[in-house]
Amino acid sequence: MNPIACALSDHHAHCDELFALAEAKAGAGRWTEALEAFGAFRRELESHLRGEENVLFPAFEAATGARCGPTEVMRQEHQRMRALLEQIALALTGHDADRVDDYASTLLILMQQHNLKEESMLYPMCDAALGERAPEIISGLQLGGAATCPP
């Protein structure tokens, strides 16, 4: 696998694990633990989105000249995810299991579709356009220790 695609795909999986934990805690009515787990997920996902928006996407756009293409669609989806994150946080705070479930289900579907587009199309395009800069790009994303890809 190409290095950018590998690092970001691994981080998607890490975020998915954190989200599943938060959902499980909420489903069990363990609200304090659910809020803590959701907070960890939200921070990790926001770090991921910020890294893409501030590092990966601008580098890809500069290398390809494509400013209104796939990265713009991804940014729009990031905004939809952020809105759902806020709704989930409010529902968790209110101990509203039905709303948590509804918003979490919507976010899960959105993330699955979004990640599939990134992993199957955008990330390989980034690796092709930014190949020699991959270590610099990956470092700038600040993904932490979640990525297990070889250098």
pTM attached to this predicted model: 0.92
Fold of 3-144: Four Helix Bundle (Hemerythrin (Met), subunit A) (1.20.120)
- CA 87, 26, 117, 150 dihedral sign is positive
Q: How far is CA 89 from CA 39, 42, 59, 94, 110, in A?
A: 8, 9, 32, 9, 17
Residues contacting 35, CB < 8 A, separation 6+: 89, 92, 93
Q: What is the pLDDT of residue 143?
A: 85
Q: How far apart are CA 112 and CA 107, in angstroms?
A: 8
Walk along the chain (151 residues) and give the pLDDT tens digit of each residue: 589 999 999 999 999 999 999 999 999 999 999 999 999 999 999 999 999 999 999 999 999 988 788 999 999 999 999 999 999 999 999 999 999 999 999 999 999 999 999 999 999 999 999 989 999 999 999 886 555 665 5
